[in-house]
Amino acid sequence: MSEALLRIEGVSKKYGPNTVLKDVSFEIGKGEVVGLLGDNGAGKSTLVKIMSGVVDSTVGDFFWDGQKIEKMNRNVTEKLGVETIFQDSALVPQMTITRNIFMGREVTNRFGFMKMKEMDAVAAEVLDSVVTIEGIKSPKQLVSSLSGGQAQAVAIARAVHFKRSLLILDEPTSALAVRATEALLGYLTQLKGEGVSSVLVTHNLHHAFQVCDRHIVMNHGKKILDARREDTSVEELTAAVVEGAVGLARFREGSF
């Protein structure tokens, strides 16, 4: 059996006296799309921040491809290829598509000057080939001139181009129109074919159910459900998200 891409074990997080995550463990398989579900305050955002290395967990172990990771900080996750795309802040709107795609990974000559022509050419290629995003005329366009769906697509294209291995999408569909949402969910399915794992954090169970191989439901900082798609249903997920462990138990007794 091949090792999971990321396995987290016994992760807890305290902010002062508040415990926001309690003993959470789960795996993300290679090429797997995992839905991370839960109501506001369930601990989803904290988990996302821990997985992307932006905040430390209070306790917990992390294994990447079977290897123990001593400390999940931003440098480590960057090297491992974890990329988080936040709903409104995936890109810098005042900058061009090219500058966004290469943000933090600029192609420079030995004096630190950017090779703009080369970067523009690669960006154009990325836009054409990584994800076919219609309606973008030039990589020199400002991101602010793109629609929400196009901007998300550019962010995903960037992650794929730089061969990221785990994409974490934090509420990516909440600001998108229906067709853009369909497009985005379509990308996730295709990413799977390329061996890229992704975590889809969302409120919208229907979006999650459409594309995710597995669903993890969080409630008050605890994992209360972790089920493959074929072993669960939208109804069960709804019960778990809305009413927590109690609702889940009642659903299983058939009285929800």
Q: List the structure tokens of 186.
A: 């379509």
Q: Which of 1, 31, 51, 5 is nearest to 218 (CA)?
A: 51
User: Of residues 71, 74, 206, 252, which one binds another protein by CB under 8 A?
Assistant: 74
According to the binding rule CB under 8 A, does residue 83 interact with another protein?
yes
According to the binding rule CB under 8 A, does residue 105 interact with another protein?
yes
According to the binding rule CB under 8 A, does residue 122 interact with another protein?
no
According to the binding rule CB under 8 A, does residue 25 interact with another protein?
no
According to the binding rule CB under 8 A, does residue 17 interact with another protein?
no
Binding range to another protein, per CB under 8 A, among 127-135, 205-213, 221-229, 246-254:
127-135
Binding range to another protein, per CB under 8 A, among 26-34, 57-65, 78-86, 207-215:
78-86
Q: Which of 71, 90, 89, 88 is nearest to 80 (CA)?
A: 71
Q: For CA atoms 211, 212, 215, 220, give the dihedral sign.
A: negative
Cβ at position 93, least distance to another protein in Å: 5
According to the binding rule CB under 8 A, does residue 194 interact with another protein?
yes
DSSP sequence for 9-53: EEEEEEETTEEEEEEEEEEE-TT-EEEEEE-TTSSHHHHHHHHTT
Cα–Cα distances in Å, from 236 out to 20, 209, 227? 24, 11, 10
Residues that bind another protein (CB under 8 A): 52, 54, 74, 78, 83-86, 89-95, 99, 102-106, 108, 112-114, 116, 129-137, 141-142, 144-147, 149-150, 153, 158, 160, 177, 179-180, 182-183, 186-187, 190-191, 194
